[in-house]
Amino acid sequence: TAIAAPYGPIFEAELARARRSAHSPKLRDCLATYYDYRRGKDQSVRKDALTCFHTVAARQPEVAQAWSGLAMLYVDDYAAMFGRGGEAELESARAAVAKALTLDRDDFLAHLALTRVQYFDGNPEFRRSIARAVELAKLESHLGLAPGSTVQGGRAALVAGDPGMGKTRLLTELADR
């Protein structure tokens, strides 16, 4: 199980491939770079992920995950500045989430970004959105999709008020590392 563990050898191989394709990235390259950023919060990797998602979104605007990846990065920027940078990042995140959900109502990252946008907006609907994100994370985790969705789904479950499921998902993720 360690070879297929999140951030294990398979992930590292995908990340190496993503780095080689920087001039003509595909969505999978952006996702690998995004999860690398989430792993270490390195700002140069964040910039690479942002550039990658922008490139794919410009070349293939119909790809929902390009927009949801952008939304997650915009929300990260807003959160890192505790809103002191103004509303530009949050407004960009709102627009990217709307575009992603218009393209794919079942995109996990879009729903995760939506919960974060709603939270920072002070919108109590974020709790319902978390429930949907958790539901999608369970499906994606069960199907073996979306690297990192187990841990993200676990965090979402904790925030949604389901500590049992959240703890189970997070402990499973840690055991696999």
Q: What is the pTM of this model?
A: 0.69
Q: Which helix (H) or strand (E) holds 86?
A: none
- Cα–Cα distance between 112 and 90 in angstroms, integer? 14
> What's the confidence (pLDDT) of residue 150?
46
Assign 60 to helix, strand or coil: coil
pLDDT score recorded for residue 41? 84
Q: Which residue type sits at 40?
A: G
Predicted local confidence at residue 138, as pLDDT? 75
What is the dihedral sign for C-alpha 78, 83, 84, 89? positive
pLDDT for 3: 47
What pLDDT, on a 0 to 100 scale, did the predictor assign at position 139?
67
- As averages over each run of 10 residues, the pLDDT of the chain (177 residues) reads 50 54 78 87 91 94 96 93 83 97 93 94 92 80 46 48 49 46
The whole-number pLDDT of residue 36 equals 87
Cα 101 to Cα 97, 105, 169: the distances in Å are 6, 5, 25
